Amino acid sequence: MTSNAQSSRHSQLSSEELVARGKAAYLPVYSPREMILDHGKGARLWDLEGREYIDLGSGIAVNALGHQEEDLVQAAIEQTRKLWHTSNMYYTEPVIRLAAELVEASFADRVFFSNSGAEANEAAIKLARKYASTKKTSGKREIITFNGSFHGRTLATVTATAQAKHQKGFDPLPGGFTYCPYNDFNAFEKIISEETCAVMIEPIQGESGITPAEPGFLKHLQTLCHKYDAVLIFDEIQSGMGRTGRLFAYEWEEGVKPDIVTLAKALGGGLPMGAMLTTEAVGKAFSVGDHGSTFGGNPVVAAVARVALQKIRSPQIMANVKRQGDQLRKRLQELNLDMFKEIRGKGLMIGAELQDQWKDQAYEITEKCRHHGVLVLQAGNNVLRFLPPLNITDEELNTGMDRVIETLSDLHSGQ
């Protein structure tokens, strides 16, 4: 594919002019890079000027099968020529089939569709509270989350997010949330009580630095949740959908079964979709009118998500995630520049924590990577985050890592 294969349809505005318009019109809640991404194929992207980039971020784990995956494109085209939207007052076939396929692929009996991960977590919070109300009329309302977590930007989910920097200025925040240190077995045992209605946790914390749960920790939570009749919620919005080499990251811990799992990001294959999966026992606490989402379960997105789910679940993709994850980690470990304190994560969800002398420079490093033709994410101020497409090829990964290593070598030598 040539760098300007899709450029003929563009307006005559330059990248600088478009960026200026964006700065003037956007609410300034983002800090986008000053470039205009134009088109992509596989793990490659091109900007408006035709410069090529290897995408090792997948739109923050959204484009799990890369850009313009042919079967996803075809599913979208076919459904857009049939039906775009109806509302949840009516059934449509793609949504029914996707719900049934998610149930078949998981622990769950019931599915609720939303537009985003934050909405999926809102649904989980509401369902947990409603379920508690069927057990005890008052008092059992506490939801425990974990320091360093990230669960969304709505008022409820930003409160569930146990990071003060995301909550500053938005008080008064909703009540009923208690925070526990992540991976602290003893602290959790002291905090959970008869007042706890739910525990919400990311099996691998994403936004704060790609930190996995310690072996046995999820099982520990499950044991105590059963003891206190609390709902166990796994936020798999970033770690789910094959990202770690299994459909859900919690599946790496034997004998663990949640009551609720929330999904988004990769679920829609690049289109916006979230989902809350739950058991029959917990799900029946909701009745008609208790919750809803106008665009949740859009038939076009569902048609694409069905194909994405089928492909992601395939043995070929799961094997590729493990193999390429091992290769990515190996390339970073072989760098021998003493730039990383720790490399952690699983599958193709890798975080490289910078040494103290590079602390707080993650943004600057990812920006230099961009100028070397590779897109890398950060997690916090001192972790480089790698979330490449699950189907990334050997050539794409090696080219991308060559560019990362060239960037880091230049930085280390002071260039």
Q: Does domain 7-62+316-412 have CATH number 3.90.1150.10?
A: yes
pTM for this model (two decimals): 0.95
**Is 265 a known active-site residue?**
yes
Radius of gyration of the chain measured on its C-alpha atoms: 22
H or E element at residue 102: helix 93-105
Using alpha carbons, select from 323, 287, 300, 286 the residue that is nearest to residue 126: 286
Q: Do the beta carbons of residue 160 and residue 125 sit within 8 Å?
A: yes
268-314 residue pLDDT tens? 999 999 999 999 999 999 999 999 999 999 999 999 999 999 999 99
- Rounded to whole angstroms, how far apart are CA atoms 120 and 247? 18
Alpha carbon 237 to chain centroid distance? 4
Q: Do the beta carbons of residue 179 and residue 146 sit within 8 Å?
A: yes
**Is 113 a known active-site residue?**
no
State residue 359's pLDDT score: 84
241-269 residue pLDDT tens? 999 999 999 999 999 999 999 999 999 99
* Sign for the pseudo-dihedral over CA of 302, 307, 313, 317: negative
119 burial level (CB within 10 Å; 0-12, 13-18, 19+): buried
pLDDT along the chain (415 residues), means of 10: 47 90 95 95 97 98 98 98 96 98 98 98 98 83 97 96 94 96 98 97 96 98 97 98 98 97 98 98 96 96 98 98 98 90 97 92 95 96 96 98 95 78
Tell the residue number behind the tokens 């920790």, with chain if given: 217
Task: Kindly state the tokens that stand for 173.
Answer: 């925040």
Q: Do the beta carbons of residue 324 and residue 348 sit within 8 Å?
A: yes
For every residue of 186-243, DSSP letters joined together read: HHHHHH--TTEEEEEE-SEE-TTT-EEPPTTHHHHHHHHHHHHT-EEEEE-TTTTTTT
What residue spans define the domains of the chain?
7-62+316-412, 71-312
State residue 97's pLDDT score: 98
User: Beta strand pairing status for 383-386 and 349-354?
Assistant: antiparallel
> Of 140, 265, 311, 346, which is the active-site residue?
265
Residue 201 CB neighbours (<10 A): 24
> Of 146, 235, 248, 368, which is the active-site residue?
235
**Is 235 a known active-site residue?**
yes
Alpha carbon 31 to chain centroid distance? 19
Question: What dotted CATH number matches 71-312?
Answer: 3.40.640.10
> Of 107, 113, 150, 386, which is the active-site residue?
150
State residue 7's pLDDT score: 47
